[in-house]
Amino acid sequence: KAGVTQTPRYLIKTRGQQVTLSCSPISGHRSVSWYQQTPGQGLQFLFEYFSETQRNKGNFPGRFSGRQFSNSRSEMNVSTLELGDSALYLCASSTSRGDIAGYTFGSGTRLTVV
């Protein structure tokens, strides 16, 4: 079966711009979580969506937002980009909120802010 699909794979943006990243979960998966991966901080939790509702949020500023659609696809948006937002953004999906064993990661979107 198809894995978690994240688009685009690479993105270069300028400071102050905004960006939208997309995540299509595995078919049948309804929970989608987002993580930011940087060399210094490792993976940090951004937010979790289930049934189109944000269920949990990490410690990131309000410039980071997300949403989930009725088909479980999710988008995250970062407004007013800063250099420090350069990172690999990972999406993970699972069938439900309790299905942590089935948590599957996508390959990520590499965002570079210049």
Residue 31 binding another protein, by CB under 8 A: yes
Q: Which is nearer to another protein, 7 or 56 (CB)?
A: 56
Stretch that binds another protein, among 19-27, 36-44, 69-77, 78-86 (CB under 8 A): 36-44
Residue 33 binding another protein, by CB under 8 A: yes
Residues in the chain: 114
Nearest to 93 by CA among 38, 16, 23: 23
Cβ atoms 6, 88 nearer than 8 A: no
Residue 60 binding another protein, by CB under 8 A: no
Cβ atoms 4, 21 nearer than 8 A: no
Quote the CA–CA distance of 108 and 32 in Å, as a whole number. Answer: 13
Interface residues toward another protein, by CB under 8 A: 3-4, 31, 33, 35, 40-45, 48, 50, 55-56, 58, 90, 92, 94, 97, 99-101, 103, 105-108
